[in-house]
Chains A and B, each alone.
Chain A
Amino acid sequence: MAIVKFTANLKRFYPDLQPTQVKGETVSDVVDEIEAMHKGIKDYIVDESGELRKHVNIFIGNELIKDRKALTDRASGNDEIYIMQALSGG
């Protein structure tokens, strides 16, 4: 099972977030799985069309996912998936 890790900034809104093991094969599946554990968090990561929000990045290992629209990138057993925010603000 892959493991998902989260930017600390999401803990402001979901204080119980911890690195989480997931079964999903695609990033989209993984986001749905996380949503089932933390209601509403999907809306922080993707918009209602399912597209990754502009200032959010998801890595599988060291690689940025390629499909920001449908999140079809696949994760396998030992992958680490990072849900990050882009380096923007101010």
Chain B
Amino acid sequence: MAAKNTLLLGTRKGLVVYKKNGQSKWTYDRTHFLGIPVTIATIDTHTGTWWALLDHGHWGCKIHRSSDGQTWEEIEAPKYADGDEVKDGVPAVTKLLWAFASAGADKPGEILIGTEPGGLFRSKDNGDSFELVRSIWDHPSRKEQWFGGGRDHPAIHSINVDPRDSNHFYIGISCAGVFETTDGGATWEPRSKGLNADFLPDPSSEIGQDPHLVVMSQVDPDVMWQQNHCGIYKTTNGGKLWQDVGQKEGPANFGFAVAVHEEDPDVAWVVPGISDVVRVAVDQSLCVCRTDDGGESWKDFRSGLPQNDSFDIVFRHALDITGDTLAFGTTTGNLYLSDNLGENWGLMSANLPMVHSVEFV
């Protein structure tokens, strides 16, 4: 696997770039789009294209792409058509660009973008044009059973493409749940059995669940992890059944982000917080929890992290891993890095804006 020596942060005030220098030290490089909220920043490894999904406070959502990470081109963001409705009588307009994925190694230039209010868009020409994936937008559950969780409308935040078969992928929606397609997005099935939503009249309903983030093991794609509003879940059979693997009494329970080891599907990390209205680190003590046994047990690591006076929460896209190195950014503008699988942490910056996304590229 190629070394990832660049760290992209989507923040409330721009895309912040850190680079690893010859002495293996991460240093600040530059900021793009200063002052503009960036929800996702990434590089599509299949084309080398840099992507920045922007959420202007005043001017709407925009997409910028770059071939070199230096100069950027604004392209037209996905749009809903006349007549598309979130609910009957509520026109659908793009409120947030919240998930980005390459459609697969065999489809260079094909990308997928998840949005609020719940539409999945696909481009087959590297962003020159986008088309709403009608099959999931027209899913019979959408208008009646999907709803907003933390946002006004339902929103797609997770897209996981199976590295064995690019026609097989999953999306995660707050609040609707996990959906799977095996035919390139022509048809979809809900994959939320085993999840338990304590905010629903029927907590086991397959529709209406609130996965905060769904991630897929790249070496065993039948294994997926999700940090859910109501716990931590794992599946080992491609979403046919999810198992609650959170700690009922421990810190590893509520949170937004989850990361899975690049080579071991049983190793995963979460960064806990307190649900619901408080939303700070558990006991105001920031920790990262890791399981090495598929969720049977969790260890919490605190070395280098603030204890007793932390207000940090880690948003769903703000934790990433490459090799033994993990990084996460927080709502209070702190950026932490660990070079030993999350056991010890160092503060890289305490002066950032709110961090929306963290990605090694």
Residue B201 CB within 8 A of the other chain: no
Per-residue contact bits, chain A 44-85, to B (CB 8 Å; 1 contact, 0 not): 110111010101100000000000000000000000000001
Known A-B contacts A40-B74, A48-B79, A48-B80; A89 and B57 likewise in contact (beta carbons under 8 Å): yes
A53 touches B74 (CB 8 A): no
In-complex Cβ contact of A55 among B57, B62, B74, B79 (8 A)? B57
B126 CB → nearest A CB, Å = 18
Residues of B within 8 A of A89 (CB): 57-58
Per-residue contact bits, chain B 39-79, to A (CB 8 Å; 1 contact, 0 not): 00000000000000000111110100000000000101101
Known A-B contacts A40-B74, A40-B76; A47 and B94 likewise in contact (beta carbons under 8 Å): yes
Known A-B contacts A47-B94, A48-B79; A85 and B58 likewise in contact (beta carbons under 8 Å): yes
B93 touches A48 (CB 8 A): yes
A44 touches B74 (CB 8 A): no
Residues of A within 8 A of B57 (CB): 55, 88-89
Residue B323 CB within 8 A of the other chain: no
Counting chain A CB atoms within 10 Å of each CB, the highest count among B60, B81, B94 belongs to B60
- A48–B92 CA distance with the chains assembled, in angstroms: 8
A53 touches B79 (CB 8 A): no
Counting chain B CB atoms within 10 Å of each CB, the highest count among A45, A49, A55, A89 belongs to A49
Known A-B contacts A53-B58, A88-B58; A47 and B93 likewise in contact (beta carbons under 8 Å): yes
Residue B346 CB within 8 A of the other chain: no
- A88–B52 CA distance with the chains assembled, in angstroms: 23
- A47–B92 CA distance with the chains assembled, in angstroms: 10
Q: Which of B86-111 contact A (CB under 8 A)?
A: 91-94
B60 touches A53 (CB 8 A): yes
In-complex Cβ contact of B59 among A44, A48, A51 (8 A)? A44
- A86–B80 CA distance with the chains assembled, in angstroms: 25
- A88–B57 CA distance with the chains assembled, in angstroms: 8
Q: How many residues of A contact B (CB 8 A)?
A: 18
Counting chain A CB atoms within 10 Å of each CB, the highest count among B59, B79, B82, B94 belongs to B59
In-complex Cβ contact of A53 among B59, B62, B76 (8 A)? B59
Residues of A within 8 A of B82 (CB): 49
Q: Looking across the interface, which residue of chain A has its beta carbon closest to that of B78? A: A48
- A44–B62 CA distance with the chains assembled, in angstroms: 9
Q: Which of A21-54 contact B (CB under 8 A)?
A: 40, 43-45, 47-49, 51, 53
Residues of B within 8 A of A47 (CB): 60, 93-94
A43 touches B58 (CB 8 A): no
Known A-B contacts A49-B91, A51-B93; A44 and B76 likewise in contact (beta carbons under 8 Å): no
Known A-B contacts A48-B93, A48-B94, A51-B93; A9 and B76 likewise in contact (beta carbons under 8 Å): no
A45 CB → nearest B CB, Å = 8
In-complex Cβ contact of B58 among A9, A40, A48 (8 A)? A9
A49 touches B93 (CB 8 A): yes
- A45–B92 CA distance with the chains assembled, in angstroms: 17
A12 CB → nearest B CB, Å = 9
Residues of B within 8 A of A55 (CB): 57-58
B15 CB → nearest A CB, Å = 16
Binding site for A on B (CB under 8 A): 56-60, 62, 74, 76-77, 79-82, 91-94
